[in-house]
Amino acid sequence: MSEHVLPRYSLVFYKNRPARVVEVGKKIEIETENGRLSVRPKDVTLLHRGPLASLAQLTPCQGAVQTAWELLDGETTTLPDLSELIYDAFTPQTAWAAWQLVEDGLYFSGTPEAVQAHTPEQVAATQAARAAKAAEQEVWAAFLSRINAGRYLPEDAPYLNEIAALALGRQERSKTLRALNEKEEPEHAHAFLLKLGYWDAQVNPYPARLGAPQADPDVPLPPLPAEARRDLTHLPAFAIDDEGNQDPDDAISWEGDEFPNGRLWVHIADVAALIPPDSAADLEARERAANLYLPEGTIHMLPPAATAALALGLSDLSPALSFALAVSPAGEVALTEIVPSWARVTRLTYAQAEEMLAQEPLAQLLAASQAFTARRVALGAIELELPEARVKVDEGVVAIRPLLPLRSRDMVRDAMLMTGEAVARFALQNQLPIPFTTQVPPLPADDLPEGLAGHFAQRKLMQRSQPSSLPGPHTGLGLPLYVQCTSPLRRYLDLVAHQQLRAFLRGEAALDGQELMARVGAADAINGSVRTAERLSLVHWTMVYLQQNPEWTGEGVLVDRRGRRDIVLIPELALDVEVYGKGPLPLNTPVTLKLTDVNLPTREARFRYGDDG
């Protein structure tokens, strides 16, 4: 059956179908059910030498298949002998019928020259597998029928979870969506699951889609080491945060006479005392880069025990790494001490602190802050006055609260910036490798508009700040050099800065520049995904808020134009949206907007101008 020369009009097997040889040469010409074509001899398998007058002769045959299989009883035979045994003849018709049995693979397998009869055990296993596959296909067909009718059952979860895996970014393809002739894209999978009702608006896919952790780390922490600490409990210390903050890691105090003669103390959670470099918690934090702040809750970079032991103001006494700063009337900052300490911290909200700014010691803290702010502005700091809002989810209900531009908020911010500048100078003077934060000047622009529109335009020109092992200016902050070091519970590179400072203060070897850069690179690579997950989650829940308030009407400000569309900033939502323009309104014009539609998977809300917009 394997001659190199194929007879004309012989029966051959080509690409799972029968063919008839019509011409023989260097190549052979065959006739298939779909017409003629030229192929190489090695591309076909000879089944019968013919002559075969027409493929139409290959009609089904009746034969003793079961009897032949039982007689062979696991032996090897040839295609001609198998045809004789089953059909009492070896013709093109019976050769094709016998070969189809071989190709089917239930009772026989092999080549025309060596056909193997399967054992009863092999046949039983194949029959069981085929029955299971048939049942699976029946279930699959029933599932597709239900889905096309817009219904699903609990047993459909494996198929729907495969779509969910695509929506969550855990896989790139979906057999189920493909079978339903749907696009295999995360946004489309999200929309499909919402339409079906398998997901609801409470599912936020973005942290998973960006590879963010889904739970707090679970690594052990040692007890706080026994060491000498400066007792600073005589200084009233205030941890000032947004209402509901659960991990306060900074507090401020004033010591001595009125500004500028006293000292500003900034107390920071002493995380490096508990988490040294390359410990289990340090390695876990390095993989996470930062806390993931979501409206539905926070995923921490450190174990919950770290917050319980180190956050300021959760216990009567808090361990801190405290920085004493002298601030001049010109806003220049000098670091006078860094000490491990005990602090007694009172927790305040920004609103509560705002009411106390005229009282001691907050009045002195405010004065130092304002002097520092004036210096930063003189050095070119870019102060963007854009609306901010806090989005929270409580039992499925979304609440959005605008953040008021309070002086207490600016005061705390500037105390942290003072610390960052002072630590940067300290590290530079002592040749201590530390993760500096730099920012190059914004992209150039001519004739920025005034007001909110100008701030909106300026934000688009700002360049991303970058961590670096080398000092450099931070243009946006108006600082010649800067280190983020006041949130070691929340940001990994802040923790690294504390580990370096701790090693220096103890006279121990700190990380060298190469080791530091490895940590900077690892954290920076992950931090972008964390911030993106936070940003997309905020927009997601803002869209859910609008879905929960379908009659929403509110005020916006025209801040930009893109062709025929106006860009309107909605202060109470801290959201900018596109609206079809009604005419040449001046920038910064207040307008009234009415919600018309929300597309949750694409994070788009559509508005129209109200009657007075």
Asked if residue 206 belongs to a domain, the reply is no
Concatenated DSSP letters of 391-425: EEEETTEEEEEEEP--HHHHHHHHHHHHHHHHHHH
Are 316 and 448 members of one domain? Answer: yes
581 pLDDT higher than 90: no
For residues 311 and 249, the answer to whether their CB atoms sit within 8 Å is yes
Please state the rounded mean pLDDT for residues 252-257: 96
- Min mean pLDDT across 19-23, 27-31, 252-256, 578-582 is at 578-582
Give pLDDT, residue 26.
83
Are 47 and 64 members of one domain? Answer: no
459 pLDDT higher than 90: yes
Partner residues linked to 593 by β-bridges: 554, 609
Q: Which residue type does 8 have? A: R
Which pLDDT tens digit goes with each residue over 117-175?
A: 999 999 999 999 999 999 999 999 999 999 999 999 999 999 999 999 999 999 999 99
For residues 494 and 486, the answer to whether their CB atoms sit within 8 Å is yes
Give pLDDT, residue 613.
45
Q: Which two tokens stand for residue 505?
A: 């203060």
Are 392 and 434 members of one domain? Answer: yes
Are 26 and 87 members of one domain? Answer: no
Which of residues 517, 541, 565 is at a domain's end? 541
Asked if residue 219 belongs to a domain, the reply is no
Q: Where does 289-361 have alpha helices with state H?
A: 304-310, 350-354
- What CATH number should be reported for the domain holding residue 19? 2.30.30
When pLDDT is cut at 50, 70 and 90, the band that residue 584 belongs to is confident
DSSP state of 456: H
Q: Which residue type does 308 have? A: A
Give pLDDT, residue 3.
45
Q: Kindly report the average pLDDT of the chain as a whole number.
A: 94
Distance in angstroms (rounded) separating the CA atoms of residues 432 and 428: 6
| Total domains in the fold of the chain | 5
Which pLDDT tens digit goes with each residue over 393-420?
A: 999 999 999 999 999 999 999 999 999 9
For 24-86, give the secondary structure using H, E and C: ECCCEEEEECCEEEEECHHHCEEEECCCCCCHHHCCCCCCCHHHHHHHHCCCEECHHHHHHHH
Give pLDDT, residue 5.
76
Are 91 and 141 members of one domain? Answer: no
**pTM score, two decimals?**
0.84
Give pLDDT, residue 563.
87
Please state the rounded mean pLDDT for residues 194-206: 96
Domain that holds residue 96: 59-118
Are 149 and 46 members of one domain? Answer: no
Least Cα distance to 331 among 429, 422, 440, 434 occurs for 422
Give pLDDT, residue 4.
53
DSSP state of 612: T
Are 518 and 382 members of one domain? Answer: yes
CA distances from 585 to 559, 560, 567, 579, 613 (A): 10, 10, 11, 13, 9
Nearest 5°: phi and psi at 270? -85, 65
Asked if residue 221 belongs to a domain, the reply is no
CA distances from 384 to 73, 187, 275, 458, 477 (A): 86, 33, 36, 8, 11
Region label for 377, one of left (φ > 0), alpha (ψ between -120 and 50) or beta (otherwise): alpha
In this structure, the strands spanning 565-570 and 575-580 are: antiparallel
Are 559 and 461 members of one domain? Answer: no
CA distances from 345 to 81, 225, 249, 250 (A): 95, 21, 11, 10
When computed from its CA atoms, the radius of gyration of the chain, rounded to whole angstroms, is 37
Q: Calculate what percentage of the chain has a pLDDT beyond 90.
A: 94
For residues 489 and 271, the answer to whether their CB atoms sit within 8 Å is yes
Which pLDDT tens digit goes with each residue over 306-339?
A: 999 999 999 999 999 999 999 999 999 999 999 9
Which pLDDT tens digit goes with each residue over 48-87?
A: 999 999 999 999 999 999 999 999 999 999 999 999 999 9
Are 111 and 135 members of one domain? Answer: no
When pLDDT is cut at 50, 70 and 90, the band that residue 612 belongs to is low
For residues 331 and 377, the answer to whether their CB atoms sit within 8 Å is no
Strand order in the sheet with 345-349: 230-231, 333-343, 318-327, 263-269, 250-255, 237-241, 345-349
Are 130 and 51 members of one domain? Answer: no
Asked if residue 109 belongs to a domain, the reply is yes
Instruction: List Cβ neighbours of 571 (8 Å cut-off, separation of 6 or more).
Output: 387, 402, 555, 556, 557
Please state the rounded mean pLDDT for residues 540-544: 98
Q: Which residue has the tokens 């979906």?
A: 174
Are 46 and 66 members of one domain? Answer: no
